[in-house]
Amino acid sequence: MSLVDGVGRSIDYLRLSVTDRCDFRCVYCMAKNMTFLPRQQVLTLEELERLAALFVGQGVRKIRLTGGEPLIRPGIVGLCRNIAALPGLRELVMTSNGSQLARLARPLVEAGVKRMNISLDSLDPQRFRAITRNGDLRQVLDGIEAARNAGFERVKLNCVVMKGRNFDEVPALVRYAIEQGIDISFIEEMPLGDVGRSRGESFCASDDVRALIAREHGLLDSTENSGGPARYVRLVQHPQTRIGFISPNSHNFCGSCNRVRMTVEGQLLLCLGQDKAVDFRSLLRRYPLEDGPLIAALHQGLKGKPLRHDFSGDGEVQVVRFMNMSGG
């Protein structure tokens, strides 16, 4: 069984949001004052498991759990264990802000999570707090150390680069990744949600980030692929560390898109940069014992997956949905 969209792309990757809530309020993800969903609008753990099983049964081989911050969802370790055990799933991975990893990294490995991506946008405590609005850098660094020691197959850092906020820290973040023996990806800010400022003022293209890194390191282009949108390079002097660039604005990766996103409300987003969605929450609750209508809706919905998004770096909000709803 396989999933194919209307233009022939194979879809084998599901990003599954387990909560819209987060203990941080990062400036590129949320507005300062957020209103979160009432509980009845959020998928239950059982509904999340059912969706995961349904998608794997239709050909999905990789599931990434996202948020919000997935690790503040009660029952997350048990959810991971049940999803990781699904026959046919190649890997269960997760993206986290790292705040809860000091206590949860090892239980997550034991539950079957293979890889962990951790957001880290600054190594300066005051700047980190300004970007996250309330985050504690020490707590995240302790979480990264716990993740390194827990036994994940791979740990990677994610950094959203913004001029005027953390662009000048790119070399230090690369050095930190080298010291820790882990990978790091630099991400262009995406125009999702009105965060109270123009993103155009802070937009930083991946080519600028790469040029800054190249001042200190020899870079070797790599054909490696982690199953997502990152383009990787290796460092000549430190080949154990991969540098990734995720460039939705300047080098869109739509032609090879292999993924869809399920929001915590049960809306299947066919493209991060479009509002078109399929309402799976209603289907889950209308057909609690019958998967056929959900499978039919999935295949029909994929026929309408857009060819590409229309992101640009000019700062205009292009999708009103905040990133915490879909996990980026």
| CB distance 185 to 157 below 8 Å | yes
- pLDDT score, position 324: 58
pTM: 0.90
Which residues in the chain land under pLDDT 50?
194-195, 197, 317-318, 321
Q: Looking at domain 3-325, what is its CATH homologous superfamily?
A: Aldolase class I (3.20.20.70)
| CB distance 169 to 198 below 8 Å | no
The SS3 of residue 267 is strand
Closest CA to 245 of 118, 123, 173, 158: 158
- pLDDT score, position 195: 46
In Å, how far are 185, 198, 229 from 242, measured between CA atoms? 8, 31, 14
Cα angle, residue 240 at apex, residues 239 and 243 outer, rounded to 5°: 75
Q: Tokens standing for 204?
A: 């930083």
Residues contributing to the annotated binding site: 15, 22, 26, 28-29, 64, 68, 95, 119, 156, 190, 254, 257, 259-261, 271
Residues contributing to the annotated binding site for S-adenosyl-L-methionine: 28, 68, 119, 190
Side-chain half-sphere exposure of 13, counting CA atoms within 13 A: 15
- pLDDT score, position 61: 98
> Residue holding tokens 């770096």?
313
- pLDDT score, position 39: 87
The SS3 of residue 54 is helix
- pLDDT score, position 317: 45
Cα separation of 30 and 34, whole Å? 7
Residues contributing to the annotated binding site for GTP: 15, 64, 95, 156, 259-261
Residues ≥6 apart with Cβ < 8 Å to 34: 25, 322, 324
Residues contributing to the annotated binding site for [4Fe-4S] cluster: 22, 26, 29, 254, 257, 271
Give the number of other CB atoms < 10 A from CB of residue 119: 23
Ramachandran assignment for 75, one of left (phi > 0), alpha (psi -120 to 50 degrees), beta (any other): left
